[in-house]
Chains A and B, each alone.
Chain A
Amino acid sequence: MAETLLQVENLKQYFPVSHGNLLKAVDGVSFSIQRGETFGLVGESGCGKSTTGRAVLGIYKPTEGRVLYDGKDISTYTKQERLQFKKNAQMIFQDPYACLDPRMTISSIIKEGMEVHFRYTRQEADIKVKELLAAVGLTEDYASRFPHELSGGQRQRIGIARALAVKPEFIVCDEPIAALDVSIQAQVVNLLMRVQQERGHAYLFISHDLMMVRHISNHVGVMYLGSLVETAPAEEIYKHPCHPYTKALFSAIPKPDPDADWANTRMKLEGEVPSPINTPPGCKFCARCPYATQRCREEAPQLRDLGNQHKVACFLD
């Protein structure tokens, strides 16, 4: 079980912007994902979580650092290995309206990946499509339909079926439920968890929905302005958050309980996320942190181990 599938080492992803400035979208992130587990990546918009998700699939060439998949650096892959990696690592996107080609039938959308990676006959492929549709809870008559005939939840199921079609070991889910209604979100998350149990692939689950991440993840990483500030097993991080940002972020979730008195009991955070262009040295969070000291402004804290696989990038104890 505890076999590392994906290891990200000091990943940096910078983008050049106007006037020779650098936008540091991801700035030195390290984490690892075990086979068959779900790693939840949370943070506010612009913190670099989606960029991280894309970088681990090799969509970007990292500015610095490495992504090791099954122990091998993905940037050193040969053409053959790269094809194999593209089969093993799949992605599910946020917007179920934009990620399906409107001119293709559901069946051809699902078959497209299979045709590249497997040598199925037409009959075999049709059977596979039926199986996949059944696996994501749709009937086989959806195969001949077009995406516009489907609701958002159904389209997201097609996105999942398409990813599963090539039998991946690892799926990056980039905000898969953000565009869906509450009751449909539950359906899609249940589906993601069920197919994981049946097929044993790993997820990198990127979301800003903190409660859903807690629900689905084994491990959780919290990002702020391109840095991973805290990572731990899901229950540990939600019960004992250590980084001031994690604490503030978790306490900012409104609780569906009329007696919670959330307005008065939560930790308040002043200000907004600063621009990721030309960030100053030191801890990225220090401008908004109520406990910031001189040291935080000068020196960037590194992730340190607190035991129980709990790591935090903060000087505070």
Chain B
Amino acid sequence: MDRLLEVENLHVSFHSYAGEVKAVRGISFGVDKGETLALVGESGCGKSVTAKALMRIFDRTSGEIMPGSSIRFDGTDVMALDKKALHAFRGSQIGMIFQDPMTSLDPTMTIGKQVGEALVIHKGLSMREAEKQVVELLRMVEIPNPEERVKAYPHQLSGGMRQRVVIATALACNPKLLIADEPTTALDVTIQAQVLDLLRDLKVRFGTAIILVTHDLGIVADFSDRIQVMYAGQIVEEGTKRDIFKRCRHPYTWALLRSIPQEHTTGTTLYSLKGTPPDLLMDIQGCPFASRCEYCMPICRQKMPERKALTDTHALSCWLTHPQAPKVECPIPREGDEEDG
């Protein structure tokens, strides 16, 4: 498949009074056309910052993409774009959906104006032409009565409907990539299911690639093709959905999977990770997960493990993959798992 996005050695830092917060620490990954990639991890692991960095939505005072980072999107070097080119690039090439639909919509603008804005700016349509297309867009995201709703303000819509409006805005200019940052976290489960169905349907219809940022492993298992597990600004394990859920090898991925309650865990003590993630103000020596890892060895605290590819799709950074490391069995019970890798 064709590569759409290629990120190499991405570093993002925030400058605070206490010093430089290194939120993303040298990650490299790619997204193919039409593919869904999920970034998972706990809060503060850098997944949202990574997603935002792809569109360079940081001003100098907040975050900075450090020199040496490379982002290539469909032949364009995103890091080299000037202000004007960047403006044209955002919205037309990449669309973005945020977690909270109320804060990402302007409360003083009607839905029609808001969704149409992108069409006026990027496609050069007149406001009247744009309004017509907006009705079509709202119909596409299954909002009932689109002719009426273009005149409504965000506060007149429910949370699920607002998120549909945000999706319509993101898709207005047929972007090749859609970044969805926790798109359903603020929604109820039955509404979440509806929004995920809609996204799945749109993905198939338009062949849009999606980067899904989430902490919900249930959504990931259902929705994504490939998964990257992030911890303290680094990718610790990546692979296809089956690689991660059935054959994962990194102790942090194990910990994430073990801490979700399931049918067979009822009434028992849930697995829980000890400690807290490392302070991102500090330089981390060795593996970032070492201090919380059950299988930590002396080398883990001294040297960062290299990324090791197990198969074409499955790779991880962990010293346990080293030939001299002790053999550790995956602690997750795996019923009915056929080893076809």
A residues sitting closer than 8 Å to B (CB atoms) are 44-45, 151, 181-187, 189-190, 193-194, 208, 210-212, 214-215, 234-235, 238, 248-249, 252-258, 260, 262-263, 266, 268-269, 272-273
Q: Is B192 an interface residue (CB 8 A)?
A: yes
Q: Is the CB of B218 within 8 A of A182?
A: no
9 contacts between A and B (CB under 8 A): A44-B191, A181-B215, A183-B272, A214-B263, A254-B221, A256-B245, A260-B221, A262-B222, A272-B191
List residues of B (213-269) whose CB comes within 8 Å of A's CBs. 215-223, 241-242, 245-246, 255-257, 259-263, 265-267, 269
Chain A residues within an 8 Å CB radius of B191:
44, 272
Instruction: Name the 5 nearest CB pairs between A and B, nearest first.
Output: A254-B218, A215-B261, A44-B188, A186-B272, A186-B270
Chain B residues within an 8 Å CB radius of A182:
42, 215, 217, 256, 259-260
Distance in angstroms from A230 CB to nearest chain B CB is: 15
A185 to B241, alpha carbons, bound, how many Å? 24
Chain B residues within an 8 Å CB radius of A266:
193
Q: Is the CB of A256 within 8 A of B221?
A: yes
* 0/1 interface trace, chain B 129-163, chain A, CB 8 Å (1 if under): 00000000000000000000000000000101100
Query: Assuming A214-B261, A272-B191, is B270 touching A257 (CB within 8 A)?
Result: no
Q: Quick one: which of B220, B257, B262 has the most chain A CB within 10 A?
A: B262
CB < 8 Å: which of A208, A210, A215, A248 contacts B270? A215
Q: Is the CB of B158 within 8 A of A252?
A: no
Known A-B contacts: A45-B188, A257-B221, A262-B221. Give 6 more (CB < 8 A): A183-B255, A186-B271, A253-B189, A254-B193, A255-B221, A256-B262
Q: Give A218's nearest chain B residue, CB to CB.
A: B267
A222 to B200, alpha carbons, bound, how many Å? 29
CB < 8 Å: which of A185, A193, A260, A273 contacts B259? A185
Chain A residues within an 8 Å CB radius of B265:
215
Chain B residues within an 8 Å CB radius of A211:
260-262
Query: Assuming A208-B189, A258-B241, A263-B200, is B218 touching A253 (CB within 8 A)?
Result: yes
Chain A residues within an 8 Å CB radius of B188:
44-45, 208, 273
Range class of the B interface residue count: 35 or more
* 0/1 interface trace, chain B 264-296, chain A, CB 8 Å (1 if under): 011101111100100000000000000000000
A186 to B262, alpha carbons, bound, how many Å? 12
Q: Give B276's nearest chain A residue, CB to CB.
A: A151
Q: Is B190 an interface residue (CB 8 A)?
A: yes
Q: Is B76 an interface residue (CB 8 A)?
A: no
A255 to B193, alpha carbons, bound, how many Å? 12
Q: Give A189's nearest chain B residue, CB to CB.
A: B270
Q: Is the CB of B272 within 8 A of A190?
A: yes
A215 to B265, alpha carbons, bound, how many Å? 7
Q: Is the CB of B259 within 8 A of A186?
A: yes
Chain B residues within an 8 Å CB radius of A193:
269
Q: Is B126 an interface residue (CB 8 A)?
A: no
Q: Is B197 an interface residue (CB 8 A)?
A: yes
Q: Is the CB of A258 within 8 A of B245?
A: yes
Chain A residues within an 8 Å CB radius of B221:
254-258, 260, 262
Q: Is B43 an interface residue (CB 8 A)?
A: yes
Q: Is the CB of A263 within 8 A of B222?
A: yes
CB < 8 Å: which of A189, A235, A249, A255 contacts B189? A249
Chain A residues within an 8 Å CB radius of B158:
272
Q: Is the CB of A260 within 8 A of B189?
A: no
Distance in angstroms from B233 CB to nearest chain A CB is: 16
Q: Is the CB of B269 within 8 A of A190?
A: yes
Q: Is the CB of B245 within 8 A of A257?
A: yes
Chain A residues within an 8 Å CB radius of B194:
268-269
Distance in angstroms from A163 CB to nearest chain B CB is: 20
Q: Is the CB of B43 within 8 A of A255?
A: no
Chain A residues within an 8 Å CB radius of B161:
272
Q: Is the CB of B190 within 8 A of A269?
A: yes
